[in-house]
Structure 1
Amino acid sequence: MLAKIAEYIAKKETRDFVLMLRNEYNITSALDVIETWIRIAGYPYRHEVNFSKQAYTIQHEMGRKWSVYLKEQYESLFEDFGLKRVDFTVTDTTLSFMVDTEHLA
C-alpha cells in the first residue's frame, strides 16, 4: 500500500510541483527540487557528483517506512526520465541513491 501511495504522488503531483518551482521538467530540475526539499526539511544529507553520477544520502531518522516511501516516490520519478536502474539503499534512518544522467538530455 505504501508503494502505491508513493507512486501515485510521484506520477500525479511531482511533475506539476517541479514545473511550478523550476519552470521545466527534466532530471536536473527534479534533482534540484529533491535537494531543495531535503535542505528545507532540515535533514542532514550528502550530495556527491562524479561526472554524470550523482549520489545522495539522506539521514531522516523517521523510520523504515519513510525510507521506503521516499524510495518508491523517487524510483517512480526517475523512471519518468528513463532511468531504469537507480541504486537505492534503505535503512531505518537513511535513504541513499545514485543516479547516472549520462545519456539523458
Structure 2
Amino acid sequence: MTNDYKSEKTETVTARINKQTLDKLRSYAKSENTTLNSAINQLLSHAVDWDVVAAKTSWIPIPKDILISYFDKLDDATIIAVAEESGKHVPRDMLLAMRGKLDVKEWISILRSRAKASGFHYAEILEDDYVKFIMKHDMGMKWSIYFQTYYISSFNMLGCDAEFSITNNTVSYRISKKDYSPDDA
C-alpha cells in the first residue's frame, strides 16, 4: 500500500538541490516509474518517518548476510525466547520515541518503514473484516520464526490479536479492521 499524496494537503516550496542529487532523484523516479514530485515526496516521507529517528532509537544498519549467519548458529528455542522478550519491550520504547504514543496503527507504520529501509517487499491487502500484511524478507526460516514471535509479542503488548503464517522467507499476519484502518493511516 502506498500513500496517496493527491488526497493529502500539500504546500508548494522552492528548494535549491545540488545538480548531482537532482540527477539521482530523476534517475530514481524513472526507475520507479513515477514522477519526480512523487519520488521526492516518498523519499522525504521515509526520511522523516524512519531515517531521522531510527538511529536515535538504537537502530543500526547491519548487512543481511551477517544477521543470517548469527541466526543460523542459534537454536529455535533461543530465537523464540529472545523474540518474546524483546517483543514485549522494544516496540513500546520505539513507539514512544518515534511516534509519541502506543498505537497499533503507528506500530504498523514503523513496521512498514522498517521493511522499506531493509529492502523487504511489503504489502497490505484488504480482506472482508481484516487487513493482511505480507513481508518477504529472504532471510530464512529462523528469521521467520523470530519475526513471527516478535510480532506476536508486540501486538499482544498493544492489545491486538493477530493471526500469523510463515514460510522460509515470508511472514504474513492479519488483524481486524477495527484494530487498524488503513484509510486513517
TM-score class, shorter-chain normalisation, is 0.7 to 0.9
TM-score by length of 1: 0.87
CA RMSD of aligned residues (A): 1.8
2:145 is paired with a residue of what secondary structure? helix
What is the alpha-carbon distance in structure 2 between the residues aligned to residue 11 and residue 87 of structure 1?
Answer: 17
TM-score by length of 2: 0.51
Q: What is aligned with 1:102?
A: 178
- Report the CA distance between 1:45 and its aligned residue: 1.8
- Report the CA distance between 1:2 and its aligned residue: 1.1
- Report the CA distance between 1:102 and its aligned residue: 1.2
What is the alpha-carbon distance in structure 2 between the residues aligned to residue 79 and residue 101 of structure 1?
Answer: 16
Unpaired stretches in structure 2, ≥5 consecutive residues: 1-77, 181-185
Give the structure with higher Rg (CA).
2
Deviations 1:45-95 (A, max 9, x none): 2112357622111111100000010000000011112223x2211110111
8 Å Cα contact 2:163-2:173 kept in structure 1: yes
Question: Normalized per residue, which structure has more helix?
Answer: 2
Q: Assess, with a 3 A threshold, how the Cα gap between structure 1 residues 103 and 93 changes in structure 2: closer, same or farther.
A: closer
- Report the CA distance between 1:3 and its aligned residue: 1.1
Unpaired stretches in structure 1, ≥5 consecutive residues: none
The list of structure 1 runs, each at least 4 consecutive aligned residues, that deviate by more than 4 angstroms after superposition, is none
Number of residue pairs matched by the alignment: 103
Higher relative contact order (CA 8 A, sep 6+): 1
Question: Normalized per residue, which structure has more strand?
Answer: 1
Check if 1:43 corresponds to 2:104.
Answer: no
What is the alpha-carbon distance in structure 2 between the residues aligned to residue 89 and residue 12 of structure 1?
Answer: 23
